Amino acid sequence: MFIILYGDLNTSEKHLLRQDTNEPKFQQNRMDSFHIETTKLGLLQKIIIGHDRVGVYIERVLVTENIADGRQYLFQCAKWLDSGQVDGKIERSLKTTAFCYLTTILHDSRSTSGRWELILHSGKDDGSGATTSNLNIVGYGSQSSSMTTKIYDSRMAKVPSSSLVQVDFGEIGDLLKVRIEIDGNGEMPNYYLNYVELRDLDTEERMVSYVRKWLKIGCDEKNSQPFREFPVFRAAFEPLNVLSYEGKIKLSSRKQRFLEKPIIYARILGEIGETGCFPVDFRFVSDLKQELSFKAEAVSVGRIQSTRLYVKMNDIGNEIYEGIQMLQDIYDRRHIKVSMANDWIAEKVTVRESHHAPYRYVMAVNRVKSMEEENEKVKEDTCDDIGDLFVELLLSEMEGLSTKISKKKALSRKQPQWILSMTIGEGSTLVPKVTLCAENTSAEMYIVATTPIDMIITFQQKAVDISTIIKVRVGIDDSQYLNCTSSNDAQFNDENIIEIQKMKLYDSENGDELRFPAVNTILTLESVYEFPAVWPDIPPISSKFQIK
């Protein structure tokens, strides 16, 4: 792996990432630390990170300045760097997502009461992006959420400019994310938000979050949305990711004769919050599949639980809605779970967090609910186009999806040449017999040398082409010992073993690498063990241990 840092003062050289310890690098669900030295770069704008061999999935990159008044930078990635995955890129340019000041880390003696100061940096350098809209600012904490409405500063009408805003979110816990919405007021309803400076007025924590996006009212442009969200980044807290949710709505009918307007608003709800409301135009539905695609950028809501479609009904639609609502109340009071209104407005919604995520959420259980109910927590106050009724589609299942690169994007692959490295334990005497297994074929490997080097023995694939490997079978070669040549006088008995501690399978031609976690297996003369191959987008089969 390598990294290049780009600051507003200078650019670093290309640094190879090397650890100080001999521990394995880039293991799942763990963070690796590296130390590099460079000239003064100033405020970091972006990084380039990549490799020239084995693919890896990177969630995020943290860069910490090792100086007295230093900053810690967040670069969100959540993508594969793999020639065989999604877009095939093995090098990515990541802009700065946020940074925090290390000198203002939360002290044990201080606690937050939810009072924050925000400096909104508005507009672009060319003068575009000014607004006359009022702003709603929603804070999501570890315990609850809070909204401050109708915020406006005259400086937002002439940009580039900065506006200081103070909000009191109250006792919502540690602030995790902020959403800023526009209401479309005045002659300049749209708004460009560059970045936001944040300061906790109680703890003096300071951080900066970059947005660099438009907030737009209506559906005149594809994928426009009247809100933007950003994570609140602080040291020692795991930040939430900014995701680009992509989905499809399967309509019950192309002719929505109960709707007053062809534009509805959608919202995705999850375990740790919800997105803002974004418009979906029913006029763009496909004739063949009766499906409508949408895309919205928001901070992660965690595991998705449902999607709500907010609608404005005509008189007939309102009467039908009230009837469905009465039926639902009857079933709910009797604790009978029945999906209501499956053939009304939408049959199903599917949502995917990213093309790099090997799954999507399927919501096909319909319910209706009035927004005027007493237990409704969020009052919709974004713009007048949002209806006062909604249909909610609840999570019904999750579907697995491949992240493998498409054939059109894939580079021409060479015939694989697999090399297996096996770390063995002290006292091992037996020689393993290794076979690569595909769905319908298999290929035996040969041992390069029977004398281990640093307790590692190596196997190479014989000249046989094999398709996608699903498992590796390891038995015993009874024709030879480790550390000795083949002999007719060799005596095999129950005291002979081979202890396999680690295995790594590497394609020297195409760069693919398979690892086998938690191997730690002892084989005797009659043993055979099958290790499942773990690919990024293919579920592994179960391990099998056999004794003849």
In angstroms, how far is the first alpha carbon of the chain from the final one? 44
Q: Are residues 147 and 14 part of one domain? A: no
**Residues in contact with 225: Cβ distance below 8 Å, sequence separation at least 6, in sequence order:** 215, 216, 276, 278, 279, 296, 297
Residue 145 belongs to domain spanning: 102-240
Calpha distance 107→101 (Å, rounded): 13
My answer on whether 283 and 388 are in the same domain is: yes
Residues 310 and 390 in one domain: yes
Of residues 439 and 165, more confidently modeled: 165
pLDDT at 377 over 60: no
**What integer is the mean pLDDT of 510-527?**
82
DSSP calls for 277-302: -EEEEGGG--TTT-EEEEEEEEE--S
Q: Is residue 245 part of a domain?
A: no
Q: pTM of the full predicted structure?
A: 0.76
| Highest-scoring range by mean pLDDT, 79-83, 109-113, 265-269, 398-402 | 265-269
Q: How far is CA 256 from CA 218, 306, 481, in A?
A: 19, 22, 76
| 83 class by beta-carbon count within 10 Å (0-12 exposed, 13-18 middle, 19+ buried) | buried
Q: For residue 531, which of 466, 436, 463 has the smallest C-alpha distance?
A: 436
Mean local confidence (pLDDT), 29-47 = 89
According to the model, what pLDDT value does residue 118 have? Answer: 98
Residue 141's pLDDT is 95
Q: Residue 375: its pLDDT value, please? A: 44
3 state DSSP class of 145: strand
| Across 160-164, 373-377, 401-405, 436-440, least confident range | 373-377
Are 356 and 79 in contact by the 8 Å Cβ rule? The answer is yes
Region of poorest pLDDT, from 189-193, 197-201, 323-327, 366-370: 366-370
Q: What is the pLDDT of residue 385?
A: 64
pLDDT reported for residue 540 = 58
152 and 294 belong to one structural domain: no
Cα separation, 291 vs 11, whole angstroms: 47
Mean pLDDT, range 321-331, rounded to an integer: 86
Same domain, 379 and 434: no
Q: Is the pLDDT of residue 203 over 80?
A: yes
Q: What band does 546 get if pLDDT is binned at 50, 70 and 90?
A: low
Q: Are 396 and 261 in the same domain?
A: yes
Beta-carbon neighbour count of residue 316 at 10 Å? 10
- Which range has highest mean pLDDT (109-123, 172-186, 329-343, 463-477)? 172-186
CA–CA gap between residue 461 and residue 419 (Å, rounded):
6
Domain shared by 179 and 305, yes or no: no
- What CA–CA distance (Å, rounded) separates 144 from 141? 5
The answer to whether residues 403 and 537 touch, using CB atoms and an 8 Å cutoff, is: yes
Task: Decide if pLDDT at 536 tops 70.
Answer: no
In the chain, the number of structural domains is: 4
> Residue 411 pLDDT more than 70?
no
Q: What's residue 491's pLDDT?
A: 59
Q: Between the CA atoms of 45, 50, 56 and 62, what dihedral angle is there, to the nearest 10 degrees?
A: -30
Q: Are residues 16 and 60 in the same domain?
A: yes
In a domain, 413, yes or no: no
Both 260 and 384 in a single domain?
Answer: yes
pLDDT of residue 163: 97
H-assigned helices in 35-106? none
For 28, 31, 37, 62, 457, the CA distances from 34, given in Å and listed in that order, are 17, 10, 10, 10, 29
Judged by average pLDDT, the poorest of 56-65, 359-368, 403-412, 453-462 is 403-412
Residues 6+ apart with CB under 8 A from 507: 416, 417, 418, 419, 513
What gap in Å lies between CA 474 and CA 435, rounded to an integer? 6
Distance CA 182, CA 190 (A): 8
Work out whether the CA dihedral 232, 212, 197, 228 comes out positive or negative.
negative
| pLDDT for the residue 64 | 93
The mean predicted confidence, pLDDT, of the chain is: 86
Supply the pLDDT for residue 176. 95
d(CA 369, CA 389): 7
CB-count burial class (<10 Å; 0-12, 13-18, 19+) for 299: buried
Domain assignment present for residue 79? The answer is: yes
**What integer pLDDT is reported at residue 339 of this predicted model?**
75
Highest mean predicted confidence (pLDDT) among 119-133, 482-496, 534-548: 119-133
pLDDT at 143 (0 to 100): 93
Instruction: Quickly state the pLDDT bin for 374 (edges 50, 70, 90).
Output: very low
The pLDDT assigned to 382 comes to 44
- Please check the confidence at residue 463 and state whether its pLDDT lies above 80: no
Q: Give me the pLDDT at residue 293, please.
A: 92
Of 78, 96, 114, at which residue does a domain stop? 96
Grade residue 312 by pLDDT with cuts at 50, 70 and 90: confident
Above 80 in pLDDT, residue 73?
Answer: yes
pLDDT of residue 511: 73
User: In the predicted model, what is the mean pLDDT of residues 350-354?
Assistant: 96
Both 400 and 261 in one domain: the answer is yes
> Looking at the structure, do residues 134 and 165 belong to the same domain, yes or no?
yes
Residue 411: inside a domain, yes or no? Answer: no
pLDDT of residue 370: 54
100-111 pLDDT, tens digit per residue, is 998 766 455 678
Lowest mean pLDDT among 38-47, 105-114, 119-128, 152-161: 105-114
Look at residue 450 and tell me if it is in a domain. Answer: yes
CA–CA gap between residue 37 and residue 18 (Å, rounded): 12
Is the pLDDT assigned to residue 159 strictly greater than 70? yes
Is residue 473 assigned to a domain? yes
The CATH number linked to 216 is 2.60.60.20
**Residue 412 domain-assigned (yes or no):** no
Least confident of 209-213, 227-231, 370-374: 370-374
Q: Are residues 280 and 389 in the same domain?
A: yes
Band of pLDDT at residue 409, cut at 50, 70 and 90: low
* Predicted local confidence at residue 260, as pLDDT: 84
- The whole-number average pLDDT for the span 371-396 is 64
Residue 254's pLDDT is what? 63
Domain membership flag for residue 247: no
Q: Are 494 and 525 in contact (CB under 8 A)?
A: yes
Statement: residue 52 has pLDDT above 70: yes
Q: How confident is the model over 77-89, as pLDDT tens digits?
A: 999 998 888 888 8
Number of H helices and E strands in the chain, helices first, is 1, 34
Q: Residues 270-293: pLDDT tens digits? A: 999 999 999 998 888 877 778 899
Q: Is pLDDT above 90 for 330? A: no
Q: Is the pLDDT of residue 384 over 80?
A: no
Cβ pair 458, 432 in contact under 8 A: no
**Which residue, 341, 373, 406, sits at the end of a domain?**
406
252-263 average pLDDT score: 78
Query: Which of 184, 219, 240 is the C-terminal boundary of a domain?
Result: 240
Q: What are the helix (H) ranges across 306-419?
A: 315-333
Cβ atoms of residues 215 and 276 within 8 Å = no
**pLDDT > 80? residue 353:** yes
